[in-house]
Amino acid sequence: MAAAAAAGAGTNGNDAITRFLQDTGLMKNASENKLLNQVRDTASDLVMSAMNFLGVPYKRGGKSLESGFDCSGFTRHIFEMSVGLVLPHRADEQARLSSLIPIKQEELKPGDLVFFNTMKRTFSHVGIYVGDGKFIHSPRVGSAVRVEDLREAYWAKRFTGARRADLSAAQANADARNVQGQASLIR
């Protein structure tokens, strides 16, 4: 019964996700559910976790809800909390991480990391792609976590690349760590 209710909630336009997408202008009406379907596909837990932090203030060097987030602190927190993948705290180090696969902009899927040159250096800013040309990030001092459009002129000319995590490998590593932790408790 709960599964049927959950399935119906996504199609009738009355669930919280649909209302959020409509209220923020990411989806104009319930019949335009392309983004909604993308968000609920692969990596939906990661993207939905990120959406829970909308409005959290920017803080240089920040890496928690309590202190606020800088861009890379935000992506690091979301990936670790959602899929157990611990990323470095700097955007350029995240972009160069060997376990993240470089992808082309036209191949973006929800949950991919998107990188920008915002400080006259490649990979100086990072966000998480949410679908339909949009990404979520912690932009700058005086602002807060928000969703923006990659196609806006500012972001389009500063886009420097994208990376995709192998989420199945991250989950396997997290499961292995859990098993090791439980084994050490038994000893």
CATH number, position 174: 3.90.1720.10
Q: At what angle do helices 71-83 and 167-186 cross, to 10 degrees?
A: 60
Give the domain extent around 153. Answer: 41-186
Q: Report the helix count and the strand count for the chain, using DSSP H and E.
A: 8, 8
Residue 148 has pLDDT above 60, yes or no: yes
154 within domain boundaries: yes
Q: Could you tell me if residue 1 is inside a domain?
A: no
Q: Averaged over 109-115, what is the pLDDT? A: 95
Flag whether 17 is in a domain: no
- 23-29, Cβ contacts within 8 angstroms, sequence gap of 24 or more: 24/147, 26/130, 26/132, 26/134, 26/147, 27/132
Q: Hey, what are 43's tokens?
A: 């990596």
Q: What is the pTM of this model?
A: 0.72
Q: What is the pLDDT of residues 56-84, one digit of tens each?
A: 999 999 999 999 999 999 999 999 998 88
pLDDT at 83: 86
CB atoms within 10 A of CB 68: 21
Active site positions, annotated: 71, 125, 137
Mean pLDDT over each residue of the chain, to the nearest integer: 81
User: Rounded to an integer, what distance in angstroms lies between the CA atom of residue 47 and that of residue 41?
Assistant: 10
Burial of 38 (0-12, 13-18, 19+ CB in 10 A): buried
Residue 167 belongs to a domain:
yes
Residue 157 maps to a domain? yes
How many structural domains does the chain have? 1
101 domain-assigned = yes
Residue 28 forms part of a structural domain: no
165 domain residue, yes or no: yes
Instruction: Give residue-wise pLDDT tens across range 124-137.
Output: 999 999 999 999 99
Kindly tell me if the per-residue pLDDT of 8 is higher than 60.
Answer: no
